[in-house]
Structure 1
Amino acid sequence: MHQEYQAFETLKRHQATLHNTVELASGVRLAAWSNKHDCITQENPSHHTLSLYTADGYESYHKTRSGWQNGGGPDRFCIMPKESVSSWDIRDDLSFVHLYCTDAHLRQLVEQTWDRSPAAINVEECIFDENPQITLLYRQFLLRCQWQEPSDQLILSSAANMLMTHMLTRYTQLQWALPQIRGGLAPVVLKRVVEFIQNHLAQPLQLADLASLAGLSEFHFARMFRQSTGIAPHQFVMQARIEHAEALLRSSTMPLIDIALECGFSSASHFSHRFKAMRGVTPSILRQEQKI
């Protein structure tokens, strides 16, 4: 179901340029923007916004009770909670990425992760702050993915969940420690999940789908899966896609685009990029070497 986000729509009506956006299966939205010489007021949105400055932003001013103050720059982040009012004066270049989520998304994450249901979730406002984990999740995971690429949907949803979990544990009144996970998946459950992955490599697999197969929350599944396999679910899936692609390259004459599609990549170029990153050569070079 499509989710409307007021902050997203407000920026579209101003001078901000939208470079990329994707709505995940959960309804959480990501958006990459740039802006310059613009004044914006976000009024009482019904959702939360987690923003990371990715470039510039040194002349971004936020209105406070004591006047306009700046403190922006690359890797500074802002949290704008629901029902808050924030005014901004963007006086020079700024590039940033937003994650939009609702109370419903956070509550579902809390209930799945801690098996508890808080009376309320009070998200703190943060302006021009720094947090290495937020920067890492954005830059190493979200910004390195192709948002429209089906094969990247698993890592996008995983990183978005980790961002929201971090926000819950650091920037709400809950401050709950993450549950300790001991032990991996039961062998029969792991076998069921692995077989599902192998049989659905052409599809945009989601963390929620894999967790549902195991009868676990996404949080518990991801950690138990890593205990069992030594790698995260998104790494396992990408490894499986590349292994299947390599087998097809070595044993068939299928066109590269057909192999890409069968392994869950939407284009030959993205398939080639991922394959080279993991195997050191492009699919076409590997196929040529087979003929020698």
Structure 2
Amino acid sequence: MSETHGIALWPQNRLLMHSDGLNWRGLYASYATEQAWTASLPAIDHHCVAYCVNQANEITRRFEGDGRTQSAVLRPRMLGTIPAGVASHWKVSGSADVLLVYLHRSVVARVAEEVLEMDAGRVELRPVLAEVDALLEQLALSVLSSMQSQSQHGALYVESIAQMIAVQLLHEHAAHQQRPPPNVPRMSRPGMRRVAELIEAALDEDLGLGTLAAEAGMSPFYFARSFRQHFGEAPHQYLLRRRIERGKELLRQTDTSLVEIALATGFSSQSHFTATFKRFVGVTPGEYRRAM
């Protein structure tokens, strides 16, 4: 929160939820009811995507170094962006429920270089206001859903979303758009084996997309795509399924307590383990153990 504009915490606004404490990497999100405000926002190291969920805000803004003033009404399903590294001046009226997604500029720079073969030092995002972007909308809603469900999907899932947000920003909202190169690298069989072994050995750890990608010798973005091709599901889905399978083994073969099994399989608490286990298996861990 300290590296963002902190808009959701301003006294006139009502914070509904935020991602503090969820251990997300490279991405921070807040969801709040924003009332009227006038302020100058400092330049920060995060790109910001604002998505309007309910009601509307009338916005007038100007970015330093640009003599133009932008004015528009941000309505539901519309988006706006605040590029990193640029100060801006705002006047907002009305009342709206707004999701703010802050993506660290290093994430965007890495995707620009590794995926789109762009010079990250020359990447410049356009300051969008009250536009519609169907893909960014779905990604924003995925972030909101992940906040609502707390750690149900996990940090690995959110890292994948951050990668896709960066790609879409660069594709559709960069000052100089470029398309990805045609030859997409594929994961080798030894790489597949190393990643699978790493996951099995670290089911109790908070594995990140970068860690898994490095084991395969790939960029995080291409790793996520190649992983799905080889394993038939996204990395976070595979990891969650393997954690549940390990939990089932421990329930069948040991008398270990549910709390210890939850921690041994990478869940933050027994309640989180129980809810996820029931979603996958159809019964609670206790019911599963008693049926064995």
TM-score by length of 1: 0.85
Instruction: Report if aligned partners of 1:151, 1:264 keep a CA contact under 8 Å in 2.
Output: no
- For 1:87, the equivalent position in structure 2 comes to 90
What is the CA–CA distance in structure 2 between the aligned matches of 1:168 and 1:24, rounded to whole Å? 26
Deviation at 1:24, TM superposition (A): 8.2
Where structure 2 has 5 or more consecutive residues not aligned to the other structure, the ranges are 62-67
Summarize the alignment of residues 105-254 of structure 1 with structure 2, pairs less than 5 Å apart.
105-140=107-142, 142-144=144-146, 149=151, 152-180=154-182, 184-254=186-256
Letter in 2 for 1:33: Y
**RMSD (Å) for aligned C-alpha atoms:** 2.8
Instruction: Report if aligned partners of 2:36, 2:93 keep a CA contact under 8 Å in 1.
Output: yes
Match for residue 255 of structure 1 among 254, 257, 264: 257
What is the CA–CA distance in structure 2 between the aligned matches of 1:33 and 1:165, rounded to whole Å? 23
Is the alpha carbon distance of 1:263 and 1:40 closer, same or farther for their aligned partners in structure 2, counting shifts above 3 Å?
farther
Letter in 1 for 2:127: E
Percent of pairs with identical residues: 24
Match for residue 44 of structure 2 among 34, 43, 46: 46
Letter in 2 for 1:254: T
- Three-state SS of the structure 2 residue aligned to 1:97 is strand
Deviation at 1:179, TM superposition (A): 3.6
- Is 1:280 matched up with 2:279? no
CA deviation digits over 1:114-145, x for unaligned, max 9?
Answer: 34425511211122222221122222355235
Instruction: Report if aligned partners of 1:16, 1:34 keep a CA contact under 8 Å in 2.
Output: yes
Instruction: Report if aligned partners of 1:21, 1:147 keep a CA contact under 8 Å in 2.
Output: no
Where structure 1 has 5 or more consecutive residues not aligned to the other structure, the ranges are none
- For 1:57, the equivalent position in structure 2 comes to 55
Deviation at 1:69, TM superposition (A): 4.0
What is the CA–CA distance in structure 2 between the aligned matches of 1:147 and 1:40, rounded to whole Å? 33
- For 1:28, the equivalent position in structure 2 comes to 26
When structure 1 is superposed on structure 2, of 149-158 and 62-71 the one drifting more is 62-71
CA deviation digits over 1:152-178, x for unaligned, max 9?
Answer: 010011111111111111100232223
What is the CA–CA distance in structure 2 between the aligned matches of 1:217 and 1:187, rounded to whole Å? 16
Letter in 2 for 1:166: Q
